[in-house]
């Protein structure tokens, strides 16, 4: 490493930049996406001399890239804190968590995964409450384990004790943001904590995009995948049955879209609580049109509340879930089928 240090000139990373990069490394992404992108970005943005183009970086030997990034990263940490923590418990936890979830990791990426970047001091200086869940997981690993000799069972212990999602055990691909936001909330109400069980939900952005996302990931994943579709995706589900892996499965909503199977009482309560003092919505207004989204759009339009957005509505509903009866039988059935 001393040879690397003497042969390059670079710009140090700020604390915020280190946190952003660590966040990107530990999110749910294929390791090729996360590690290759972060390592290339650090060299492209922070290495002053020698200067490499993006094409040059792609051609560099993985070990050369790893050594340069280690030097820039660790020098940045030392500059901030005046010391260097050689404990790699967080690095090992991240690698084990990734290897638990992903398979067929490329040789180049494996080199990056084994880089000894100083994560621990960054994690020790993060505010736990405001950290994203992937960094919360690593913060707890660092605070609970001193020894680098951790295993996957210890990481599962952290996940279950603190409900921290990682390492991920199962992937749920959903069509949109409503399911992405509300499924974990509804599941927790019926004593099925997705985070505690390592169940990650990924929105595809539409039923036609769900199969594309699945086929992109299926040969990279070691974990089972569940695909949840609206009722109008029967043909897609049928064709998928012939192509998905044995451990994977599809679930079809029986009655329209996800919004159509949400409790009417919950929708009414959520909208009325959020939009006081406008004229309260009554149950009959949620039965004007066949599709629930059209009824909700009508509520927004007649009360002059602006554009109806599913993401905003989902957050409003989430904070108004109070009772077991807020979870309809079909939603319970879907959750149990997932778990």
Final residue before a domain boundary, out of 162, 197, 227: 162
* Domain encompassing residue 52: 2-162
Q: What is the per-residue pLDDT for 39?
A: 97
> Do 71 and 215 sit in the same domain of this protein?
no
Q: What is the per-residue pLDDT for 246?
A: 87
> Do 134 and 175 sit in the same domain of this protein?
no
Q: What is the per-residue pLDDT for 67?
A: 95
Q: What is the per-residue pLDDT for 245?
A: 86
Q: What is the per-residue pLDDT for 86?
A: 77
> Do 96 and 216 sit in the same domain of this protein?
no
> Do 146 and 220 sit in the same domain of this protein?
no
Final residue before a domain boundary, out of 110, 134, 162: 162
- The count of structural domains within the chain is 2
> Do 181 and 294 sit in the same domain of this protein?
yes
> Do 87 and 16 sit in the same domain of this protein?
yes
Cα 133 to chain centroid distance, Å, stands at: 9
> Do 145 and 260 sit in the same domain of this protein?
no
Final residue before a domain boundary, out of 145, 162, 179: 162
For the chain, 339 residues long, give each residue's pLDDT as a single digit of tens.
Answer: 556 767 899 999 999 999 999 999 999 999 999 999 999 999 999 999 999 999 999 999 999 999 999 999 999 999 999 977 778 999 999 999 999 999 999 999 999 999 999 999 999 999 999 999 999 999 999 999 988 889 999 999 999 999 999 999 999 999 999 999 999 999 999 989 999 999 999 999 888 899 999 999 999 999 999 999 999 888 888 888 888 988 999 999 988 999 999 999 999 999 999 999 999 999 999 999 999 999 999 999 999 999 999 999 999 999 999 998 999 999 999 999 998
> Do 140 and 185 sit in the same domain of this protein?
no
Rounded CA-CA distance 292/278 in Å is 20
> Do 297 and 278 sit in the same domain of this protein?
yes
Q: What is the per-residue pLDDT for 1?
A: 55
> Do 115 and 180 sit in the same domain of this protein?
no
> Do 239 and 137 sit in the same domain of this protein?
no
> Do 256 and 303 sit in the same domain of this protein?
yes
Q: What is the pTM of this model?
A: 0.91
């Amino acid at each position: 490493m001393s040879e690397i240090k003497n042969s390059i000139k670079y710009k140090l990373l700020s604390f915020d930049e280190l946190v952003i990069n660590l966040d990107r490394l530990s999110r749910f992404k294929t390791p090729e996406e996360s590690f290759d992108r972060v390592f290339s970005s650090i060299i492209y943005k922070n290495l002053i001399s020698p200067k490499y183009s993006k094409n040059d970086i792609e051609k560099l030997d993985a070990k050369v890239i790893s050594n340069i990034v280690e030097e820039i990263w660790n020098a940045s940490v030392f500059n901030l804190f005046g010391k260097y923590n050689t404990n790699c418990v967080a690095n090992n936890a991240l690698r084990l968590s990734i290897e638990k979830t992903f398979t067929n990791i490329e040789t180049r990426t494996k080199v990056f995964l084994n880089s000894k970047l100083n994560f621990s001091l960054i994690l020790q200086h993060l505010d736990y409450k405001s950290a994203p869940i992937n960094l919360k997981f690593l913060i707890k690993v660092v605070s609970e384990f001193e020894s680098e000799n951790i295993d996957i069972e210890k990481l599962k212990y952290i996940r279950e004790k603190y409900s921290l999602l990682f390492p991920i055990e199962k992937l749920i691909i959903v069509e949109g943001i409503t399911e992405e936001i509300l499924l974990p909330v509804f599941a927790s109400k019926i004593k099925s904590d997705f985070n505690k069980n390592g169940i990650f939900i990924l929105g595809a952005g539409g039923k036609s995009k769900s199969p594309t996302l699945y086929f992109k990931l299926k040969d990279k994943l070691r974990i089972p995948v569940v695909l949840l579709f609206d009722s109008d995706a029967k043909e897609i589900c049928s064709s998928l049955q012939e192509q998905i892996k044995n451990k994977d499965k599809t679930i079809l909503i029986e009655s329209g879209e996800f919004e159509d199977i949400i409790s009417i009482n919950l929708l009414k309560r959520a909208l009325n609580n959020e939009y006081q003092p406008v004229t309260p919505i009554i149950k009959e207004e949620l039965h004007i049109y066949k599709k629930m989204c059209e009824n909700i759009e009508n509520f927004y339009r007649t009360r002059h509340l602006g554009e109806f957005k599913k993401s905003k509505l989902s957050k409003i509903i989430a904070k108004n879930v109070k009772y077991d009866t807020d979870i309809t039988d079909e939603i319970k059935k879907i959750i149990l089928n997932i778990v």
